[in-house]
Amino acid sequence: MILSMSEVLENVSDFVNTCLGPLGSDGFTWNTLRDIIIQLCATLILFIVIRVFIWKRVTNILEARRAAIDKELVEAKESNRKARLLAIENENKLEEAQAQIKTMLEKAEKDANIRRDEIIQNAKDEAHRRLVNVEEDIKQEIQQRNAEIHQQIVDIAMLAAEKIVEHEVDQDKYIDLVNKIIEGANK
C-alpha cells in the first residue's frame, strides 16, 4: 500500500498537532495559558514538596552511599598496599630461604670435602704405617736370613777348616776371623 504525497503530509500534520497539544492548530488561547500556569504551579509545588520532605533523605542516602563507597575505596587501597607489602615480604623471605639453603649446601659440601680429606689422609697414614711395618718386617727378615746365612757360612767354614787342619781348632778365634772376612766382603 503506497500513500500519496498529500496523504503523507496530512499524517505528519496530524501527528505534529497531536504532539503539540493545546499549542497545536487551535493556536494560543486563555485556556492554554491557564493550563500552562497550572502546570507550572504543580511543578513548583512538586519541587517544593520534594525539596522539603524528600530531598534531605535522598541526599543523606546518597551521601551515606558515597561515604560507604569512599570507605570501601580506602579499605581497598589499604588492602592493596598490605598485599603489596606482604608480597614484598614473602619475596624477601623466599630470597632469605634460598640464601640459607645455598649456605647450608655450601657448608654441607665443605664438611663433605673435609671428611673426604680426613678419610684420604687416614688411608694414607694407614698405608704409610703398613708400609713402615712391612719394611721393618723385611729388615728383620733380612737380618734373620743374614744371621742364618752367616751361621751357615761359619758352620761350613768350620767343617772345611776341620777337614783341612784335621785337628782341633779354637772355635772362638775362628768365628772372629770369619766375621772379619764377611764384614770385609759386605763392604
User: Given a cut of 60, is residue 96 above it in pLDDT?
Assistant: yes
Q: What is the pLDDT of residue 166?
A: 54
pTM: 0.39
**115 or 175: whose pLDDT is higher?**
115
Name the residue ranges covered by the structural domains of the chain.
22-186
Q: What is the pLDDT of residue 85?
A: 94
28-43 pLDDT, tens digit per residue, is 567 777 888 899 999 9
Mean pLDDT, residues 166-187: 70
Mean pLDDT, residues 135-144: 90
**122 or 182: whose pLDDT is higher?**
122
Q: Are 136 and 153 in contact (CB under 8 A)?
A: no
Q: What is the pLDDT of residue 19?
A: 66
User: Given a cut of 70, is residue 95 above it in pLDDT?
Assistant: yes
**80 or 150: whose pLDDT is higher?**
80
Mean pLDDT, residues 4-10: 79
**What is the DSSP secondary-structure string of 39-79?**
HHHHHHHHHHHIIIIIHHHHHHHHHHHHHHHHHHHHHHHHH
As a whole number of angstroms, the distance between CA 156 and CA 164 comes to 12
Q: How far is CA 138 from CA 134, 141, 178, 187, in A?
A: 6, 5, 25, 21
As a whole number of angstroms, the distance between CA 13 and CA 24 comes to 10
Percent of the chain past pLDDT 90, that is, above it, reads: 47
Q: What are phi and psi of 154, to 5 degrees?
A: -60, -45
As a whole number of angstroms, the distance between CA 12 and CA 17 comes to 9
**171 or 95: whose pLDDT is higher?**
95
Residue type, 6: S
Average pLDDT, the chain: 84
Q: What is the pLDDT of residue 109?
A: 92
> For 21, which DSSP code?
G
Number of H helices, E strands in the chain: 4, 0
Mean pLDDT, residues 77-90: 94
As a whole number of angstroms, the distance between CA 174 and CA 167 comes to 13
